[in-house]
Structure 1
Amino acid sequence: MTSATIKELNSHEEILKAYPIMKQLRTHLDEQSYLDLVLEAKEKDRYKLYALIDQGEIVAVAGFKIMTTLYYGRFVWVCDLVTDQHNRSRGCGEKLLNYVHKWAKDQGLESVALSSGLQREEAHRFYEEKMDYNKVSYVFKHEL
């Protein structure tokens, strides 16, 4: 994967090209809902969508935004991180998340945080063992 590059996705066409990968994590979204939400988040919430591209194909995507809270200070919240199922265990997620870390540091931010579904035990091992993340809280959700 020495030829892999990381690129921000901005146009509708670029964002839609990432949909098949994002769909592997966000299974509840159809293509139009995905596009609408990404565009709204980019406009209103400073959401960034980056892709790891290897040999012309998107193999992983990361969506994140800058946040400010009293708990974490100024930081990046990783909303979405997914590697194509056929490209897992090749260092794609590590490369893309390391890019997010560098991006955050370049912005003068203090940390990077994310949540991960309770059932995603392999992802938890990746974050804790490979990427040196600490489990610091639970995330709770109330449906309205």
Structure 2
Amino acid sequence: MTGVTIRTTLYYGKHLFVHDLVTRADHRSRGCGRQLLSCVEGWGRSQGCGSLVLTSGLVRRDAHRFYQERMGYDRVSYVFRKIF
């Protein structure tokens, strides 16, 4: 399952932002995440987006390996937040 929005920012221009990408634990490493994310990428291109952007929690090391090694994503920033 995935949740996405189309956004426009000064840094990324028009892009697809992935809020959530979830694969059931018993379906991981079977290509489901790759297939889903590839489909989302294609949809973003068809909507005129120049890139896909997502964030991932620091402890999600398996997810980071998936994005970087299997999907070819670059880690370009850290996300900061302040709770008040």
Pair in the same fold by TM > 0.5: yes
Which of 28, 33, 40 is equivalent to 1:88? Answer: 28
TM-score (norm 1): 0.58
d(CA) in 2 for partners of 1:79, 1:142:
19
Q: Could you say which residue in structure 1 is the equivalent of 2:61?
A: 121
- RMSD, aligned CA: 0.5
Highest RCO, 1 vs 2 (Cα 8 Å, sep ≥ 6): 2
Which of 63, 68, 73 is equivalent to 1:133? Answer: 73
Structure 2 gaps of 5+ residues are none
Aligned residue type for 1:110? G
Shift of residue 65, structure 1, vs aligned partner:
0.4
d(CA) in 1 for partners of 2:71, 2:81:
26
d(CA) in 2 for partners of 1:123, 1:132:
12
Structure 1 gaps of 5+ residues are 1-60
| Bigger radius of gyration | 1
Q: Could you say which residue in structure 2 is the equivalent of 1:101?
A: 41
The secondary structure found in structure 2 opposite 1:129 is helix
Q: Could you say which residue in structure 2 is the equivalent of 1:45?
A: none
